[in-house]
Amino acid sequence: MAKKTERVDEIDRVDGIDRVDRIDRIERALAQAHREQNVPDLSPEWREGVMRRVRSLHAEAVEKEASPTMALVFQRMILPCATATGLVAVALLAYLLAAVPGMEQELFAMLTQDPSGLLATEALGL
């Protein structure tokens, strides 16, 4: 255990300087270098162009987040609703064929009687 604490002390002190002192020196050097750097002379038009671009990127991100894509709408809404509707239609047809005797004969007669009967069944979804 004593060897471990000695090793930590060795790591914390390099060349007789504490870790905190080294960090403070590095921070001061970086701050001084930042203060001394030359600021490029940029025109107001350039700054306005940059800000316009930043605002447009933000607006695009908000718009993309707000409006779902067609694939997302199809995947999350239309496909499940269409599946449920189809299953309900099949269940209703099976119920009607079982509950109403002779319905299949009336349906067949309506389909084969005249072309307008076909249009009526399309309107009903059959």
Those residues with Cβ within 8 angstroms of residue 13's Cβ, 6 or more apart along the chain or in another chain? 19
Task: Please report where in the chains the tokens 């299949």 appear, as a residue.
Answer: 104
CA distances to 74, 79, 89 from 93, in Å:
26, 21, 6
3-state DSSP call for residue 18?
Answer: strand
Tens-place pLDDT, residues 100-119: 888 778 777 776 776 665 56
Question: What residue segments make up the domains of the chain, in order of their start?
Answer: 1-37
For the cut 60, the answer to whether the pLDDT of residue 1 exceeds it is no
Looking at residue 53, its pLDDT comes to: 94
Tens-place pLDDT, residues 47-92: 999 999 999 998 888 777 766 677 777 777 888 889 999 999 999 9
